[in-house]
Amino acid sequence: MTRRGLPAGRALSLTDLGARVPQPMKPAARRLRDVAQGTWPAAVADWRLSRTTRHPETFAEKVLYRSAFDRRPILTRLVDKVAVRDYVTDRLGAGHVPDLIGVYGCVGSVPWRSLPREFVVKASHGSGAVVVVWDGAPVAARLPASARFVGWDRYGIRPEHAAPARLQSLAEKWLTLDYHHGPGRLPEWAYRDVPPHIMVEAVVPGEGAALPVDYKCFVFDGVCRLFYVVSGRFADHQIAVFNAAGTPAGVHVVHRRPAAVPALADNWREIIAAAEELGRGLDFARVDTYPTPGGFVVGEMTMYHDAGRNGWEPPEFDREIGRWWTLPDADTLRAPFAVRRT
């Protein structure tokens, strides 16, 4: 390891820099990032989203189109981290969601001092807002001393650093946040009616002390066309992109990729088949799944991948993947202004 705490030979990334921003400065840093990426405060964000093209072609445009016009209740069920557990069990059977310790509407009800040594705390009503407590977390990782400036952040810490008071403070802050319509973000409608809860789950086992890799499957009309293999979420975060045949896709995301093509899990085809079953009847869904020593579990489903940004390398791939996505007709979408044409 280098003096920066990075693996030897690895350059300092924007993610690394963000992790080093002092907590009180993070809200301002997020605003600068959001403006640079083309999003603005709430009133402007509403106006901008209302001007979304009615004739989207690229994948990013279709994500924004869904945000602006798609009002199907199924989307709310799928982004709700509590409700989606029943959806997964209904489709795949028992044993394919992380073991649940509890769901709480009040942080005072969480048995902070009697939780297992390793566990996961997360908010049900947004993206991020998670603390993974496990023995393999980075040694130097800590929770913030104050939750005042915390947003939808992710933390990986060791059990000895999981102070109940700090966990409770984070959870209290999460319950006040609105992922549907937060400042500096374009609205993501499906989160509007998700009831806020704090969830506590068991840690999904990986190999040794490491967390499991994450298979993010892009499913269009029940067919997986592409998937990510994501590793090192809290340490050496890397993403490799594969096509549905299990070979490198020849494209990348704007993120660090592994130096060598990672080996796929023995049951990767089973994971793809499960993702396709969960995406059956939907025009698009991203299904996030973790292979485990005994099978796999589904972590969550994502309806607004990358918030409608074009994160592909080369950027032209955004148009190609957009051709895989056939949007529902305006009557199906149910938005009051979806039938207007410009």
Domains of the chain listed by start with CATH number: 52-94+206-342 (3.30.470)
pLDDT digits (tens, 9 = 90+) for 175-219: 999 898 866 668 899 999 999 999 999 999 888 778 999 999 999
For residue 22, what are the contacts with CB-CB under 8 A and spacing of at least 6?
none
Closest CA to 279 of 71, 127, 78: 78
d(CA 27, CA 91): 39
Q: Is a pLDDT exceeding 90 seen at residue 57?
A: yes
Say which residue, 9 or 159, is predicted with more confidence.
Answer: 159
| Residue 200 · residue 88 · CB < 8 Å | no
DSSP 3-state helix, strand, coil percentages of the chain (rounded to 5)?
30, 20, 50
Supply φ then ψ for residue 315, to 5 degrees.
-60, -25
Q: How far apart are CA 124 and CA 199, in angstroms?
A: 7
What's the burial of 328, exposed, middle or buried (CB within 10 Å: 0-12/13-18/19+)? middle
CA distance 109 to 22: 31
Amino acid residing at 99: D
- What pLDDT is attached to residue 233? 83
* Residue 174: predicted pLDDT: 96
The stretches of 73-178 forming alpha helices (DSSP H) are 73-79, 83-92, 164-174
List C-alpha distances in Å: 282 to 74, 125, 299: 9, 21, 18
Cis preceding linkage at 138, omega within 30: no
Amino acid letter for position 183 = P
CB neighbourhood size of 119 (10 A): 19
The percentage of residues in the chain with a pLDDT greater than 70, rounded to a whole number, is 86
Partners of residue 201 on adjacent β-strands: 100, 120
DSSP E strands: which ranges in the chain? 100-104, 119-123, 130-133, 154-157, 198-201, 214-220, 223-231, 238-243, 252-253, 285-292, 295-302, 312-313
Token pair listed for 251:
């494209």
pLDDT band at 97 (very low <50, low <70, confident <90, very high): very high
Residue corresponding to tokens 């690895």: 10
Range in 25-29, 47-51, 98-102 with the lowest mean pLDDT = 25-29
Task: Tell me the whole-structure pTM to 2 decimals.
Answer: 0.85
Yes or no: say if 292 and 82 are a contact pair by the CB < 8 Å rule: no
Number of CB atoms found within 10 A of residue 162's CB: 23
Amino acid at 47: W
Tell me what the mean pLDDT of segment 124-140 comes to: 95
- Written as six digits, the tokens of 223 are 């067919």
pLDDT-derived band at 52 (thresholds 50, 70, 90) equals confident
- Which amino acid appears at position 40 of this protein? W
pLDDT of 22 strictly over 90: no
